[in-house]
């Protein structure tokens, strides 16, 4: 009898979820019909999850690898960071890159990073790679404080994402250090034990990936 009741409840729940109007935005999921919602971390800003396909995304190993710096200009610092104990910094227009396991852009939940430029220039570039020499470049506008930049909407609608490259900057006629700091870079994809999976609405969100 108990098995029959449980089976009946499962069928009813599945039917309810199938008919419910569920809207997903960022990491949040909202059931329009019932007015319930799930916002992981209680923040509208995407958080780093265990589904991040990048390795060492916050430089918490205290070293750059597997990030590859153009020559040796990017370094890890413990003097300033967004979270944890470290970030990466660069003086000048030099790049840092990480290649990832190729992923279909349709499976990417979000792409973003935190950065700051103490001098207040508010300008540096990020490249998203779809082939060895095939990339799109975007310009971010961080401030003197740590600023989150969301690149999710800049992904191509089709294709395979293979790498991300982040640049510093140089200002002509400037006598100050052209410093850029970055931290908590994320390329969030399915397949990892994401923290949202322990929540009912998180499981629903996963079905829409």
Query: In terms of pLDDT, which residue wins out, 108 or 47?
Result: 108
The highest-level CATH class for domain 68-188 is mainly beta
Segments making up each domain of the chain, as ranges: 2-44+192-207, 68-188
Q: Give the model confidence (pLDDT) of 173-207 as tens digits.
A: 665 688 999 999 999 987 544 333 333 333 333 44
* Residue with more model confidence, 193 or 53: 53
Distance, in Å, from the CA atom of 105 to the CA atom of 177, rounded to the nearest integer, reads 36
Q: What angle do CA 22, 26, 28 make, to 5 degrees?
A: 50
155, 172, 174: which is closest to 164 by C-alpha?
155
Query: What percent of the chain shows pLDDT beyond 90?
Result: 54
Q: Is residue 5 pLDDT above 50, yes or no? A: no
| pTM for the whole structure | 0.68
106-139 pLDDT, tens digit per residue, is 999 999 999 999 988 778 999 999 999 999 999 9
Backbone angles phi, psi at 186, to 5 degrees: -140, 135
Between CA 93 and CA 178 the distance in angstroms is 8
């Amino acid at each position: 009898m108990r098995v029959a009741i449980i089976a009946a409840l499962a069928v009813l729940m599945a039917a309810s979820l199938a008919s419910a109007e569920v809207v997903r935005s960022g990491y949040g999921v909202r059931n329009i019909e019932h007015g319930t919602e799930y916002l992981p971390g209680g923040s509208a800003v995407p958080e780093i999850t265990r589904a991040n396909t990048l390795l060492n995304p916050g430089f918490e190993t205290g070293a750059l690898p597997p990030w590859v710096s153009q020559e040796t200009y990017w370094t890890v610092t413990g003097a300033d960071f967004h979270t944890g104990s470290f970030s990466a910094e660069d003086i000048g227009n030099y790049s840092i890159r990480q290649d990832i396991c190729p992923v279909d852009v349709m499976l990417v939940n979000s792409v973003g990073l935190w950065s700051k430029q103490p001098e207040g220039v508010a300008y540096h570039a990020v490249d998203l790679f779809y082939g060895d020499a095939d990339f799109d470049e975007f310009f971010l506008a961080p401030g003197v404080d740590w600023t989150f930049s969301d690149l999710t909407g800049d992904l191509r609608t089709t294709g395979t994402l293979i790498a991300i490259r982040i640049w510093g900057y140089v200002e002509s006629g400037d006598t100050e250090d052209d410093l850029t700091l970055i931290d908590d870079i994320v390329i969030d994809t399915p397949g990892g034990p994401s923290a949202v999976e322990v929540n009912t609405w998180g499981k629903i969100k996963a079905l829409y990936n």
